[in-house]
Every structure is written in structure tokens, then in C-alpha cells.
A and B are shown apart, each in its own frame.
Chain A
Amino acid sequence: MSALVLDGLTKRYGPVTAVHGASLRIPHGQFVCLLGPSGCGKTTLLRMIAGLEDPSGGRLVIDGRDITTAPAHTREFGMVFQSLALFPHLTAGENIAYPLRIRGVPKAEQRKRADELLELVRLPGVADRPVSKLSGGQRQRVAIARALALSPKLFLLDEPLSALDAKLREAMQIELKQLQQRLGITTIVVTHDQREAMTMADLVVVMSQGRIHQAAPPMEVYRQPADAFVADFIGMTNLLEGEVTAPGTAAVPGGTLHLPELPPTGRVLLSVRPEDVIVHPAGMDGPNRLTGTLSFMRDLGASVEFRIDVAGKEIVALSRPQDRPPVAPGGALAVEFPPAACVVLPPMAERPQ
């Protein structure tokens, strides 16, 4: 059983609980993104895995071995810090060789391994340069190489790309993913950037207020969000509050929708992605259609975005330019919610706070 298991990991700072009983099983070789807004506890969770914070409760098990209380330096995980934390008094090569030096590896071998790792992160020939003479992207690579120097069981990264400019960040996301695939190393990345998570992860762990809301592959998180927070945080969505009035029928502001997967009774919350909402000219009747007035429209080139006022609620829809109905802002429109695209979520009140 080669996996990392988080069993109810909890971290409290006095009266504040930063992480509430996080439980997760990460199979070997997975690329995991801990995703959430700032202050959601994702960094604290990563630091507990690294051994830099002592959990207030719960267990951490890797390959069947309990490491909950093992000190950080005995865990043999590689970690890349947000500030990178490169040692300023050492050259790039010495930084990478630091963990080898600590273990008493001979100098020549240290040097050989540092050169190999620089090759791996595609930064050959800078081993003798002081880290202060490297660019942001180069430092990033040195930090990654240093964390990988001991071929760790677990590769941890805390917002590793946040200091880079947008273009370099995109390139590094792809490169990091390729590197991880090549090495087959279990990797956990903390990020607040959902695009970054979608690009790299096999498993996205969405967190908010110290709790894990959903842990699933990126497309599942997007298509089948577990609750309103996930639906809203990952991409754009329309959230419709409604009430089940008859089996398979829900009353929402502006009309009723017929959906097969509704609970038998009670309040429901529906999430519909803008690209799934179909816009029709007014007066064309059909199932699951609500009428509203167009309040705003913009042409984004590849798609057209509509903002439609339906009984006081703004609905966002994206459609292809060629499907655009002939209507000007202020005009009437019908919006269709295809049943397959409507995700039924637990109502707002049941959201864990």
C-alpha cells in the first residue's frame, strides 16, 4: 500500500481552528493540488504534511508508517517554499547539494548530482553562480532541483509559482507537470489559482475555512461540484435557489424546471455553468425555459457573453457567436437550462461554516 493517508488532521491555534479534520488518501504518483482562497488552511495542511507544524489531532500515515510526530528532518520529503528559501551564502550548485552535504556524501558526488539535477530542471551550467545572480525563473528551478536532490517520496510545493509573471507561470505549470510525470513522484502543490490547479492536478482538493469541500479529478470538480462553494470557486457558475414542488419539478425565480435528479422534497440549489445555458429569442417556448431581459452583452471573440435578468436574478450565459439571437440590451430573451447540465447541490444553509 504505497500511499499518503491523512486521517482527520486538525490544527488549532488557540481558539482558531486552521484545519478541521482533513481526511484524504493520496495514491502513489498522484499530482495533488490543494486549492482554496487565502486563509483556507491549505498551507497549514501542507506544513503539517512536511512536519513543520505539529497537528493538534489526527494522523498522518505514509506507506503504512505513522509519521504524525516524526520531525521534519527525518521525513525525507522535498519542499519548495513560497519564498523559495534558497540559502544566500551558497551558490546554486551548493544549494542543490546541501541535503547531500548534510548526509556526508563525498564532494565529487555532490557536484555530479547537482549537475544532473540542474540538467533535469533545464538549467545547466549555473552551478557556480551565487543565487543572488539568478533570475526569478532560474531561482525557481534551483529550488525545485534542491527539493528533488534526495529523490524524495513526497514532493511538496507551497505556492511555488506565485512570484513569477503570468507568462512564465503558465510555462512553469506545464513544465512542472511534465517533470512530475517523468519522475512519477507523488506531488502536493498549494495554490489559490484554479487555472493552475486545473492545468497540473490529477486530484484537486478544494478547501475553504479549514475544511476539505471536495477532492476529485479536475473535470469532476468542475462538472460535478460537491457544493455551492466549489461550484462558485471553480470557474463561473449560475446558482439558482429553488424548491421542489412536485416529483422532478422545482420552482425557481421566474418559472419551473423539470429535472430528473431532484430530491423528493425541500429546498435545492442548482448550479449551471454559463456555457451550458442556451439563449433563445423570446417567444420560442420549450421545456426548462425562463424568460428575462438582456441587461448586458459583450463579444469576447470566441464566444458571446450575455447577462440576463430573470425575475431579479442575473443569469450569465456564454454562446458561440453564430448562435447569438438577434436582440439588443433591454430586449426580451428566453434562457434554457438543459437538465443534464444542472447540478443539484445541497441548499446554502447546509454548507459547513
Chain B
Amino acid sequence: MIRRAPRGLAEHAPILFPALMLVVFFVIPFSLMIAVSVFRRVPGGFYEPDLVFANYERFLTAFFGGVMSFSLGLAALVAALSVGIAFPFTYRLVKLPRRAQIRWLVFLLSILSLSEVIIGFAWSTLLSRTAGITNLFVALGLMAEPQSLSPSFGALLAGLVYQAFPYTVLVLYPALARLDPYLEEAARTLGSSPLRAFFTVVVPALRNTIVATTIMVFVFALGSYLLPQLLGRPQHWTLSVLITDQAIYQSNMPFAAAMAVFLVLVSLALVGLALLAGRREETA
């Protein structure tokens, strides 16, 4: 094994391909987007090169501030709920016999294969007044008459958590499967009830995994632009929806680009903060 740092072009060769991919598919498009974000829009046309910050100034208003904080809050809530549900679920899952585990994982993977559109329409049908779940509640005598539960914030939240849940389980699975099963038993012999052992030993022992997974789901939810339109009301539209709207329907590429850049920067900053907080706790 080579332990010294690689020297010369030949030894750097293995990283050339990924580096090239990163440049072609990430650095160049992102740079183009930053460039477009300071271009000037030509009304009725497209845009022309310039260096104006009007696009950025435009969302320093209460409206965009509101949309931004709603988007971030929604993503944070989805991340918290997904991890909050998926963590205990995965903890139980890894204790099942191997065959049962594989069945569950295949089932979750099959949810992953569903497109966002299908998930969105399925949930809106499920929560609709005419064909939805409330009809079942009426039949069971739990409700007086069927109601429409969608579009609403609850419907949007349910759809997003449903979509994020399989990812969350699959990311948590390896860490939980590797966790020494005797940790929980040791906590129990030392006087913790099973629930207390879970919160004082299992959760803290996997804190880094939980932080990393939460960040992943947060970023994932932040990018969602279809479900808010299918399951939410206009006041539940996220910044991603507005970006899509500006870019596709209003043909305002510079403004859409500026919002996208802003969204990326804000989410990077939040991720950085979360990681920093994690590290500080670790050294404390």
C-alpha cells in the first residue's frame, strides 16, 4: 500500500475521472447558474449578460422571506419526523430474522421506485372526499360524513414523510445493524427500562448517524417541488415551487437562478451549522 501522498500525473490518474465528472456535471452548471443569476432579464425575451443584483434584491421582501422560512421549516419538520419514525422502526427491523428483514427492505425499495407524481396523486386520492379514507371512517361509524383532507399542510407533510421514509431507513440501516446488540441489554442489567435504555444508550451511541441522516432528509425535502403543488395550498408552496414557476412559466431565468443560488447557500450554511454543533458536542 502506498502511504505517501501521490505525486505526478500518473499517480493522480485514478481521481481524474471523478474529478472530470464533478466539473462537467456540477461545477460548470452551478457556475452558469451563478452567472445567470446576475444577468438582466429582457421582458418578453430571455436574458442578456450583465452584472445586476436586482434579482437578489427582489426576494429581500417579506413575501420571499416568508416562503424561505416556510421551506426551511417544512424541510426541518419532514427531516425530524422521518428520522423520528424511521429510527425506532429500523431499530426493530435489524432485530428481526434475516428473511423478514430482506422482505421489509425489498418493500421499502419498491416505494423508492415510485415517482413523486404517483406518490402525490395516490395521497391526494387517499385523502380526497369522494374516494378517500374518510369514507372508510364513515363506514366504521367514526365520522358523520366524508371529508376532503387534501390539499392541506397535513397532507403535504404526510406525502413528504412517506417519500423520505425509505431513504431514511436505508441510510440508518447499516449503522443500526452494526450496533452491538448487547449495549441495550447491558443498559437493562444496569437498571434502565427498555425504553430508557433506548434513549440513554442506543440513540446517543448513534448520534453522528442520526445527525447525518437528518441533514440528508432535510436537503432532500428542501428540493421537493411537486408534492407541495399536489398536496398543499398555495401558501404551502416552497421556494423550489417558486423557482420552477419562475424558470418555466414566467421565463425569468435570472430570478430563478438567483433563488436557486440562495437556496443552495442557505442549505449549505444550515448543514454546516448542524455539523459544527455536532462536533462541538462531541468534544465537550
**Residues on A facing B (Cβ under 8 Å):** 50-52, 71-73, 75-79, 81-83, 85, 87-90, 98-99, 101-103, 146-147, 149-150, 156
Q: Which of A50, A83, A87, A89 contacts B189 (CB 8 A)?
A: A50
Any A CB within 8 A of the CB of B8: no
Q: Which of B181-214 contact A (CB under 8 A)?
A: 182-183, 185-194, 196-197, 200-201, 204-205, 207
- B residues in contact with A75, CB < 8 Å: 189
Residues 204-233 of B, flagged 1 when their CB comes within 8 A of A and 0 if not, give 110100000000000000000000000000
Q: Is the CB of A83 within 8 A of B182?
A: yes
- B residues in contact with A156, CB < 8 Å: 189
Q: How far is the CA of A146 from the CA of B204 in the complex (A)?
A: 18
- B residues in contact with A88, CB < 8 Å: 205
Q: Is the CB of A150 within 8 A of B193?
A: no
- A residues in contact with B201, CB < 8 Å: 87
Q: How far is the CA of A90 from the CA of B191 in the complex (A)?
A: 17
Q: Is the CB of A146 within 8 A of B190?
A: yes
Q: Is the CB of A89 within 8 A of B182?
A: no
Q: How far is the CA of A123 from the CA of B157 in the complex (A)?
A: 53
Any A CB within 8 A of the CB of B180: yes
Query: Known interface pairs A85-B180, A87-B183. Does A73 touch B205 (Cβ–Cβ under 8 Å)?
Result: no
- B residues in contact with A103, CB < 8 Å: 191
Query: Known interface pairs A83-B180, A83-B182, A85-B183. Does A99 touch B205 (Cβ–Cβ under 8 Å)?
Result: no
Q: Which of B183, B185, B190 contacts A99 (CB 8 A)?
A: B190
Query: Known interface pairs A89-B205, A89-B207, A102-B196. Does A73 touch B191 (Cβ–Cβ under 8 Å)?
Result: yes
Query: Known interface pairs A88-B205, A102-B200. Does A73 touch B183 (Cβ–Cβ under 8 Å)?
Result: no
Q: How far is the CA of A113 from the CA of B180 in the complex (A)?
A: 27
18 inter-chain pairs at a CB distance below 8 angstroms, sorted by A residue, are A51-B188, A52-B188, A72-B189, A73-B189, A73-B196, A75-B189, A78-B189, A83-B182, A85-B180, A87-B201, A87-B204, A89-B205, A89-B207, A99-B191, A101-B200, A102-B191, A102-B200, A156-B189
Q: How large is the interface on B (under 10, 10 to 19, 20 to 34, 35 or more residues)?
A: 20 to 34
Residue of A nearest to B185 (CB): A52
Total A-B contacts with CB atoms under 8 angstroms apart: 68
Q: How far is the CA of A150 from the CA of B183 in the complex (A)?
A: 18
Q: Is the CB of A79 within 8 A of B186?
A: yes
CB proximity of A336 to chain B, nearest CB, Å: 52
Q: How far is the CA of A352 from the CA of B201 in the complex (A)?
A: 43
CB proximity of B213 to chain A, nearest CB, Å: 17
- B residues in contact with A147, CB < 8 Å: 189-190
Query: Known interface pairs A87-B205, A88-B205. Does A98 touch B190 (Cβ–Cβ under 8 Å)?
Result: yes
CB proximity of A258 to chain B, nearest CB, Å: 55
Query: Known interface pairs A52-B189, A72-B188. Does A81 touch B182 (Cβ–Cβ under 8 Å)?
Result: yes
Residue of B nearest to A87 (CB): B201
Supply 15 further A-B pairs (C-beta < 8 A) apart from A73-B193, A78-B189, A89-B204: A52-B185, A72-B185, A73-B196, A73-B197, A83-B180, A85-B180, A85-B182, A87-B201, A87-B205, A98-B200, A99-B190, A102-B190, A102-B192, A147-B189, A149-B190
Q: How far is the CA of A331 from the CA of B200 in the complex (A)?
A: 71
Residue of A nearest to B183 (CB): A85
Question: Counting chain B CB atoms within 10 Å of each CB, which of A75, A99, A150 scores highest?
Answer: A99
- B residues in contact with A73, CB < 8 Å: 188-194, 196-197
Q: How far is the CA of A88 from the CA of B191 in the complex (A)?
A: 18
CB proximity of A317 to chain B, nearest CB, Å: 45
Q: Which of B112-164 contact A (CB under 8 A)?
A: none
CB proximity of A51 to chain B, nearest CB, Å: 8
- B residues in contact with A79, CB < 8 Å: 186, 189
- A residues in contact with B196, CB < 8 Å: 73, 102
